[in-house]
């Protein structure tokens, strides 16, 4: 993996942290743990509230285990991993199959519903591009959920998109300032996870022991992999270890440019 410094770029700015509530949306248990959970550990240590929303229970993720058994197992591992980084609320959607998540209004509505309920200022999700870091091909579920989350963050503030949610008592929420996308090959911001946040992130991924064991020879050991990835990201932020994000701003922080 190359860093921005390898490409001759300048250091990235830190991701803004003047907010209180975050919703992290992912396709499967363990998606957040492959890097972003270390940033979550930093934020919860600051007293911020972070909630996880999983679109599936990852039931198709263990080749040697039937989905009826794998789903509850992976749900339990996700809740355990979330606790390692200070996240107490982990929600799972129903009606979306692991490996078969469909793009469309049903998925977007479910994510909008969660955004209106939790009213986050920041939304975190995964890369929706065909390629991720280092050119690795992205999974179909990741692409669908990442883009749906980006769109849902804006839709949540429009009362005429999914007006039926108001009948559930969920008024529009236009307070999402930005969406931070993890795992992209074109990051714009970074989060310093040197020290304790990285250690807690490693513990969070280690909680997915049965899942990673089920990957066989293709599995990543949590400590060496996450340490390597964090040290690859660090130089772009000028620190020892960092998680990098592509930040999509949904509202101006301060006056718009034409009024400055």
Residue 212 tokens, joined: 């990673």
Percent helix / strand / coil, the chain, rounded to 5: 40, 15, 45
**CA-to-CA distance for 219 and 208, rounded, in angstroms?**
11
What pLDDT shows up at residue 220?
77
The domain locations on the chain are 21-249
pLDDT at residue 4 in the model: 34
Q: What is the pLDDT of residue 10?
A: 55
Instruction: Specify the CATH architecture of the domain 21-249.
Output: 3-Layer(aba) Sandwich (3.40)
152 CB-near residues (< 8 Å, 6+ apart)? 108, 111, 112, 115
Burial class (CB in 10 A: 0-12, 13-18, 19+), 23: buried
| Positions of the chain with pLDDT lower than 50, given as ranges | 1-9
Pairing relationship of beta strands 189-192 and 89-92 according to DSSP bridges: unpaired
| 90 token code pair | 């982990």
Scored b (16 or more CB within 10 A) or e, 62-73 reads beebebeebbeb
Instruction: Give the C-alpha separation, 201 to 10, whole Å.
Output: 27
List of residues 6+ apart from 46 with CB closer than 8 A: 17
| Burial call 130-169: b when 16+ CB within 10 Å, e when fewer | eebbeeeebbebbbbbbbbbbbbbbbbbeeebbeebeeee
Query: How high is the pLDDT of residue 187?
Result: 95
Interatomic CA distance for residues 61 and 56, integer angstroms: 11
What is the per-residue pLDDT for 163? 96
């Amino acid at each position: 993996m190359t860093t921005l410094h390898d490409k001759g770029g300048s250091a990235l700015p830190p991701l803004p942290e003047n907010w209180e509530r975050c919703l992290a949306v992912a396709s499967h248990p363990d998606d957040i743990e492959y890097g972003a959970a270390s940033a979550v550990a930093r934020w919860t240590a600051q007293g911020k509230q972070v909630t996880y929303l999983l679109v599936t229970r990852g039931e198709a993720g263990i080749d040697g285990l039937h989905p009826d058994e794998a789903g509850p197992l992976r749900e339990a591992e996700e809740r355990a991993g979330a606790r390692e980084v200070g996240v107490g609320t982990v929600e799972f959607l129903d009606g979306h199959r692991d490996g078969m998540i469909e793009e469309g209004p049903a998925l977007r509505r479910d994510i909008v519903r969660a955004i209106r309920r939790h009213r986050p200022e920041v939304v975190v999700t995964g890369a929706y591009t065909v390629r991720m870091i280092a050119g690795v091909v992205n999974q179909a579920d990741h692409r669908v959920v990442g883009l749906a989350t980006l769109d849902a963050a804006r839709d949540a503030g429009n009362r005429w998109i999914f007006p039926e949610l108001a009948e559930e008592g969920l008024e529009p929420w236009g307070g999402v300032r930005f969406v931070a996308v993890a795992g992209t090959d074109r990051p714009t911001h970074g989060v310093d996870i040197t020290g304790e946040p990285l250690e807690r992130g490693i513990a969070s991924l280690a909680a997915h022991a049965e899942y990673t064991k089920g990957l066989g020879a293709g599995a990543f050991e949590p400590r060496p992999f996450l340490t390597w990835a964090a040290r690859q990201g660090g130089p772009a932020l000028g620190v020892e270890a960092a998680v990098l994000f592509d930040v999509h701003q949904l509202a101006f922080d301060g006056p718009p440019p034409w009024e400055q």
